[in-house]
């Protein structure tokens, strides 16, 4: 009975770590997106418009294309980071399960 309680506590600890890491990843990526989507095209538009791309100012490109493309890139980055996190925690869970069986 004691081992199952210990195993349940370990599973809960792993789940808590998962959500803590997940929130940290989300906040980091959304902060980057905020900077690219708001700071670059809105607050730095005058500076970026000094440079031209295809006959239009770079501020226009950040506003029209950059934020959207960066958001799509963030989706793939998030997917990769979550796969790595889940693999790392699965190893810990497997080690915990093997200890519980012993």
| 92 burial type by CB count under 10 A (0-12 exposed, 13-18 middle, 19+ buried) | middle
Model confidence band, residue 1 (pLDDT cutoffs 50, 70, 90): very low
Residue 57: which domain range?
Answer: 2-101
* Number of domains the chain contains: 1
Q: What is the pLDDT of residue 2?
A: 52
Contact 58, 51 (CB under 8 A): yes
Structure tokens, 74: 């963030």
Q: What is the pLDDT of residue 59?
A: 83
Most distant CA pair in the chain, distance: 72
DSSP state of 14: H
DSSP state of 36: I
80-93 pLDDT per residue, tens: 999 999 999 887 77
Is the pLDDT reported for residue 3 higher than 60? Answer: no
Is the pLDDT reported for residue 12 higher than 80? Answer: yes
Contact 72, 66 (CB under 8 A): no
DSSP state of 52: E
Phi and psi torsions of 10, nearest 5°: -65, -40
Decide: pTM greater than 0.85.
no
Structure tokens, 84: 């790595």
27-79 pLDDT per residue, tens: 999 999 888 888 777 888 888 889 988 888 888 887 888 888 889 999 999 99
């Amino acid at each position: 009975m004691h081992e199952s309680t210990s195993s349940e506590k370990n599973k809960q600890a792993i789940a808590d770590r998962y959500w803590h890491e997940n929130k940290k990843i989300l906040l980091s990526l959304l902060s980057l997106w905020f900077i690219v989507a708001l700071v670059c095209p809105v607050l730095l538009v005058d500076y970026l418009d000094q440079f031209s791309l295809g006959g239009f100012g770079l501020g226009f490109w950040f506003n029209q294309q950059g934020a959207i493309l960066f958001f799509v890139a963030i989706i793939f980055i998030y997917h990769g980071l979550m796969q790595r996190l889940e693999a790392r925690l699965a190893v810990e869970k497997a080690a915990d399960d093997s200890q519980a069986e012993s």
